[in-house]
Amino acid sequence: MQVPKIRQSVEQFKAWMPTDEAQQYLPLWETQQNWQTNFNVEAPDLAASYDAALDSKTNRRHYRRGGYDPKRSMLAIMEWEPDFVRDAFRDLFSEDRDLEGRIQRFVFYVNELFNRYRDAKPKARIPTHYHDDDYNMASIYLMGQYPAVYAPYSTPLLQTVCQKLGAKDVPPAADFPRYTKLLATLRPFLEKDEELMATYRESLRPVDYQGESALLMYWYFKFVAEHQPQG
């Protein structure tokens, strides 16, 4: 990636952060805090823990919007077979295992569990599990569990950021591990800017996660994707 482009975009991002457009992303930090407070994969009532953890009082569009409701599907599966879902989350959160394998297995497990759920409950009015969504929900679960490391993922976002910041090669397909590495690699460009970090801290609301969060980089990536010129 081209350092001059990164530095220029960081300066522009800093000016964008206080805008109304930028502030619309803050519910992600609220969900991150709720997950930290409420989710426990070993909770006796896993569904209740998940329900409270995946929440936002201000905006839920990152996990619930028209025609997309993975939370409802996951709650249904959890209430039906909590122990199998528990195992799927345990594996997803096992940082000693390969990241690519974990996210692929998680989507596979959810798909298999949902198919079994639908066979057992043919009258259930849930059309799909919505987790075959380019790793979006898997990344949100990881974002909640490990705030400093993960952020919401999409392949178009990764590709656009690579293109606009001058990467030598742009991934042709989903590459969640590369995205996660990019979050960490570019973080110092933001963290060494004291004015930017002060603006960031001032932007967070009392309900938002206050610790080290890769969401800062996601915020920056969204700015780059939506406001930086191509090439």
DSSP 230: P
Residue 60's pLDDT band (cuts 50, 70, 90): low
Question: Alpha helices, DSSP H only, in the chain?
Answer: 3-16, 20-23, 27-38, 46-53, 70-80, 82-92, 99-120, 136-145, 155-164, 176-191, 194-203, 215-227
> What are the structural domain ranges in the chain?
1-38+148-231
Residue 127's pLDDT band (cuts 50, 70, 90): confident
Paired with 65 in beta bridges are: 68
* Burial track 32-63 (b if 16+ CB lie within 10 A, e otherwise): bbbbeebbebebeebbebbbebbbbeeebebb
Crossing angle (nearest 10°) for helices 82-92 and 136-145 = 80
> Which of 38-52, 110-124, 139-153 is least confident?
110-124
Rounded Cα gap, residues 61 and 45, in angstroms:
25
122, burial (CB in 10 Å: exposed 0-12, middle 13-18, buried 19+): exposed
Residue with tokens 């220029």: 8
State the pLDDT at residue 130: 83
For residue 179, give the nearest of 197, 196, 191, 167 by alpha carbon: 167
- Is the predicted pLDDT of residue 67 greater than 80, yes or no? no
Residue 59's pLDDT band (cuts 50, 70, 90): low
User: The tokens of 172 are what?
Assistant: 């042709």
DSSP 65: B
State the pLDDT at residue 61: 66
For residue 151, give the nearest of 111, 101, 209, 196 by alpha carbon: 209
- Overall pTM surpassing 0.75 (yes/no): yes
